[in-house]
Amino acid sequence: MGLAKNSFIKTKKGIVTISFCCLGLAGCVNDDISDLNQYIKSVKAKPKGTIPLLPEIKVVEPFLFNPDGLRNPFRPVKIIEQDDLPGIASGTGIRPDSSRRKEELEAYSLDALRMVGTVMMGKDKWALIKASDGTIHRVQKGNYMGRNHGEIIQILDNRIELMEIVPDKPGSWREQQASIVLAE
């Protein structure tokens, strides 16, 4: 008897639920759709726009990689000693002084250094250099700065002129002039 009573209760609940849903849907029915018709007319009355053309697709030329004659990138590079190079005698030409103690500003690239001013101390002109870490350094003619062994050759009011020693070919070096201008 208990089983029959439960099914009756479930059936009664189902009927009540369906009745409420029908009543809810009946409340949503509205025969006045004039605002919808008016909106559709206004959309259709707007001028039709033109669709822009697709951009022209550029044809990319295929590149065929030919590794013949190239160095294997997975093998270590053979370092050529200067004595092994034909026509180059050891100890000749321009080269950085490897016995010289590195100065503090040689740890920075020239791009990371800014000239912020000059100071006269007696007869000597000093330049004020701001490093990328915010530290201000005082330098004079003969000091070194930058990663390319740059020696200060002249300090002017608006710039510092340097002579760098940069690698040219394996085992050879060349001089290159550089400058740092006053940051404004």
Q: Where are the domains of the chain?
A: 110-184
Amino acid at 142: G
With beta carbons less than 8 A apart as the criterion, state whether 115 and 181 touch. Answer: yes
Residue 68 confidence (pLDDT) above 50: yes
- In this prediction the pTM is 0.50
Residue 32 confidence (pLDDT) above 90: no
Average pLDDT on 89-103 reads 77
Multiple choice CATH, 110-184, 1.10.3720.10, 2.30.30.830, 3.40.50.1700, 3.40.50.12280: 2.30.30.830
Residue 5 confidence (pLDDT) above 70: no
What is the model's pLDDT at position 95?
86
Q: Residue 158 and residue 116: Cα distance in Å, rounded?
A: 9
